[in-house]
Structure 1
Amino acid sequence: MAGKVDLKVVLLGKEYGGKTSLVERYIHGKFNAQAPYQSTIGAAFGAKKVTVNGESVTLGIWDTAGSERYESMSRIYYRGAKSAIVCFDLTDPSSFERAKFWVNELKQTEEDCVIYLCGTKYDLVEDNKKARKVDASSAKEYADEISAKYVETSAKTGYNIDYLFMMIAEDFVNVTRNKVQANKDEDSSVALRLEQPPMNREKCKC
């Protein structure tokens, strides 16, 4: 596991919504269909280093408990997160409503946190359209409404897992670079104003 974390990413959503499987697939490349994951208590942490345009970025990933009884505990873990993956199960409409709850929480407490809406268990709806209980267009419309990007994933097949986390890392790097450039431009502007000689204002002799 890497030491220094550049970007804190938190996963939020209803229990059994696919968060832990998603993290396991991304960090360890594993998916165990024979032994379903137990409900997370508190939070689990993992880290992974990626390279974005030649720049190394270490993601610190917090998988939070989805159970409502651990709600207050989850708030502790998402504090200070720069990115949040709000997950819902594509086969469970109640998990989509729960996702909206977490989005509202983030909007109120972590204004600078970039939100990514993630529909999980895509493999279950890929071949069986009747299994899908959350329409993709509705989810995309909601994502647009909250200024979030929407991705559908499958921890079982790995579909869009790497894509999701790479997108998060790329967005982070781009935002960081833009901030650095903006600060440089501001510093240059200030330096230019300081270098300019004061105007020679002679009193008018009328």
Structure 2
Amino acid sequence: MESGGGCCGGGKKSKQTNNQNQMGLRTQNNLGITDPFARSRPQKSNSSQSSVIEAKVVLLGDSGVGKSSIAQRFCRGIFSDTHDVTIGGAYLQQTITLNNNTNAQSQQAVQESSQVKMHIWDTGGSEKFRSMVSLYYKDAAAAIICYDVSDEKSFNSVFYWINEMLNNNNNDSDNFVMALCGNKADLDAALKKISFQNASDVAKKHNMILAECSAKTGEGVQQMFKKIAEKIVLLKKMENGQQ
């Protein structure tokens, strides 16, 4: 997917991926989705499990920060040091089951909607593919903006990706979730160039969930997606005037 560098990178562009995601515009056949716009705002499933909320989530950030590895770790529980660059986008999905051990603000919403099925779009961060990435912003319920804790340039680019998401997503900014993810948290402290405080300042300014994680070890990955799922559920309930 994107070239990783350091301890983790993106996913890999296999023949199977090419067949399922031709230039990022096709997805896995079992969903019957043919473009990145098909999964829009959070919505309850039409299946018998009416408590399942479906939501489109996009991963954004510069090439090499490890977006693909984060997606692979979350959805498949795997990590690989061998990666190619993501062209356009790749599709994965994962369902989170939320229990009632949540903060007071979101507990009621979680009790009534215990599952969030995430339709995850892992986008390419290379500059030459950025015009394609904009296709994936539409109707996103959440965006995870990633940077490499050992790479100042990738952190500086966070502001570009925030503006891209705010300017191109057709949902109101109050109705979708943004998270700031510092990847490669497993690196030695001497190699880290972005302090947690610096990241926290950016996250607070833009009302973002903040997480430092490691796609390589799995540290913090599940916790980040869980926080995103909880906020998606809460916003859905507020949108329906139920909380």
Of 91, 102, 107, which residue of structure 2 is paired with 1:45? Answer: 91
Structure 1 unpaired stretches of 5+: 186-206
Of 164, 182, 189, which residue of structure 1 is paired with 2:224? Answer: 164
Deviation for aligned residue 1:51: 1.6
* Letter in structure 2 aligned against 1:43: G
* Letter in structure 2 aligned against 1:152: E
CA offset digits 1:115-173 (Å, max 9, x no partner): 1000000011xxx2220111110110011111112100001110010011111111111
Which residue does 2:72 correspond to in 1? 24
| Distance in 2 separating the partners of 1:51 and 1:73 | 32
| Distance in 1 separating the partners of 2:219 and 2:75 | 14
| Distance in 1 separating the partners of 2:85 and 2:194 | 22
Q: Are 2:168 and 1:105 aligned?
A: no
* Letter in structure 2 aligned against 1:161: V
CA offset digits 1:86-131 (Å, max 9, x no partner): 000000000011111010111222243321000000011xxx2220
Which residue does 2:123 correspond to in 1? 64
Which residue does 2:133 correspond to in 1? 74
Q: What RMSD over aligned residues (CA atoms) do the two structures have, in Å?
A: 1.8
Of 48, 52, 57, which residue of structure 2 is paired with 1:9? Answer: 57
TM-score (norm 2): 0.69
**Structure with a larger share of its residues in helix:** 1
| Distance in 2 separating the partners of 1:57 and 1:145 | 27
Deviation for aligned residue 1:13: 0.2
TM-score (norm 1): 0.81
Structure 2 unpaired stretches of 5+: 1-27, 32-44, 46-52, 99-109
| Distance in 1 separating the partners of 2:202 and 2:162 | 11
Deviation for aligned residue 1:179: 2.3
Deviation for aligned residue 1:49: 1.3
Report the identity percentage.
34
| Distance in 2 separating the partners of 1:32 and 1:63 | 16
Q: Is the 8 A contact 2:73 2:218 kept in 1?
A: yes
Comparing 168-177 and 11-20, the one that deviates more: 168-177
Q: Which has the larger radius of gyration?
A: 1
Which residue does 2:178 correspond to in 1? 115
Comparing 102-111 and 74-83, the one that deviates more: 102-111
Q: Is the 8 A contact 2:57 2:143 kept in 1?
A: yes
Of 203, 212, 216, which residue of structure 2 is paired with 1:152? Answer: 212
